Structure 1
Amino acid sequence: MAAPCEAKTSFQRRGKSKNFSARGTRPSLHNGQLLISTGVPSLDHLLGGGLVVGSVLLIEEDTFGSYANLLLRYFLAEGVMCGHGLMVASAEEQPKHLLKALPHPVDDDKETTQRMDEEKMKIAWRYQHLPQHQLSETGQQFGHSYDLNRLMGESRLTTVKTNCFYLPSEKISHHDNSINPAYQRLFSKVESEITEGGYSLTADAAKSQGVTNRNILRLGIHSLASPLWEVNSIQQSTVSLCRFLHALRGILRVSLAVCVLTIPTHLYQDESKVRRIERLCDTVIRLESFAGSDKETNPVYKEYHGLFHIRRLPRLNSLTSYLPDSLDLAFKLRRKKLTIEKLHLPPDLSETVSRSQEDPAKKAARNASVSAFSCSSSLTERKLDF
């Protein structure tokens, strides 16, 4: 008699997974995505731990573009400290000048701890236990600290591979009038850098299987879509930009590269074009600087230099995106660093303000009634406990 057939299952014991690991990276606690630091610990916390490898971060510039440029320099400086490859593209400022203006890293941990203790003494006791968005979810800082008063030496820049793209020095060909040739030239440069630099996960797959020391590419594009990038007619500028962002995000998805770009969206009068650009990026943040506005002299915002808006959060390989504790955020530029904190308004003094702005006639009538009541009895001079 034949033996009964045993039931078989398709489940197998899971072995040790071979996850990719490189310096300056770590897996996300939410979905296991590979993350890198932006150089600003508070920004890493708001984004769910850092920037996802293979994604695009859009920084909508402030009016003068100074703070957006500062975040871009933080991003590049972190790449130098981690030994990542760098590629800087710009049409306004020389990429070499951006690299020379990177902030100096703070290597002394004692100096950082002492500065944090001094800042803690300045905070009111009732705000000490509120979240400051400075540390990561594990309680440890991801990335490095930097001193804005000092510049990174050129000796550190020579330790990493850098590639620069300066639009005025590039040879632009006008073959297709429907697409901006400047964006075509930039995309071809990015594609060749990813393919030839060994950052691609699809090209030369057979050769890349034996490579164990894979690295990360940090791509920084300064003030994209500004008037200096317009080579053809302005009517095709938005269409060309959208095509470039769509192609850029597609090539980043299959590579070990991360892109941070800044766009002066305040120059666009049509909000629908801005929304279209935002949808083609994974993460979108907007900086609203107080410089040159009425909020600069408003005592309510005297502790901050601008508002920080999160317009879009990454949602890669997951149904929902990470959501921070609060979306009411502001940034301040201190003497040595840039921080992003929860917006804390001063205490509400509405009662005092309303009494100070009271009508003089009503105030005189109220004082007369109080004086008449005090003449009839002496209750006004006593302290009554109800």
Structure 2
Amino acid sequence: MSYFQNSIDFIREKFASNEFIPLHAPVFSGNEKKYVLDTLDSTFVSSVGAYVDQAEQVMAQISQTQKAVAVVNGTSGLQIALQLAGVQRGDEVITQALTFVATANAIHYTGAEPIFIDVDLDTMGLSPKAVEEFLQEFGEKRENGTYNKKTGKRIAACVPMHTFGFPVHLEALLRVCEEWNIPIVEDAAESLGSYYKGKHTGSFGKLGVFSFNGNKIVTCGGGGMIVTQDEELGQLGKHLTTTAKVPHPYEYVHDQVGYNFRMPNLNAALICAQLEQLEMFLANKRALAIEYATFFEGQGMKFRKELEHTKANYWLMCIELENSKERNAFLKLSNENKVMTRPIWQLMYRLSMYQHCYRDAQKNAEYLEERIVNIPSSVRG
């Protein structure tokens, strides 16, 4: 298939390399070393320090929220966000099966169980229409929330994930969840720098959670951030993630079961330097996305682009192939040629620990699973 080889050659040209091309490599071109060395000199390398406070303030500004809480990683942040939203052991949480496993795992950590609802083809994220259809069939409104008529369990939250940085249809999803009194917790792990109708992802739900993992647009090796418009709820999140320790000059008093999910100041120094470059990173990636879109259109292949009224961060760029056979052939050829590509995640209900969970028909999710391939998306020098 000559157009596969043409694609590989084009990617090499865009990254000006004959060596191995990774999917998404970190770029440290700013104040990273300076801030990390400053942290070492201060000796405040653990969970207390000026850079932790600065990172939280900057992320609240970027995400257009009232409070941000720095955590050790996005998964832990999502777990706490679900707890803050009121999810309890024995509850159910609506989410999508087309996601990274951390989404389902975070739900499981709270003692709740995921309900897997289909995605939309255009966003690759949770479908408001599919959520509404599920609730109309199985939902039952009670004084203390919405319950699943089939299982008798409370449906305590809804977790959309903005796949590869493409925002879900947020207005429609908010409308459905408000009607059924179900709080939204946005898994915005992949969508730092993405907007829906001018508002940043993560700012629409009761809470939102971002990731700073090593393959994200900005990184501190790990790390994550919980954001919310409810400052009081955010303060509780800070308390819970810092072992629920009551402030005191020297006594160790903890007023509830908390978690040691604090972001160390050392990591916070790194993310502060990375966030200073966020706009540059986003512009660089957008320029690559434009070049990809033009090229793949000429090859008769579908390059995934942002929708009207949205602004995607183009975290991981992707193409849609004709079928699973072509997908597999492209994956094999590109990786053999040291151009890293990968398929979309295996759907959550195919994993042994989530096979028992409810799922709807998943027509769109399975369609995308067979066709989507991520291509190199790093910021270029």
TM over 0.5: no
Q: Which has the larger radius of gyration?
A: 1
TM bracket, shorter-chain basis: under 0.3
TM-score, scaled to structure 1: 0.25
TM-score, scaled to structure 2: 0.25
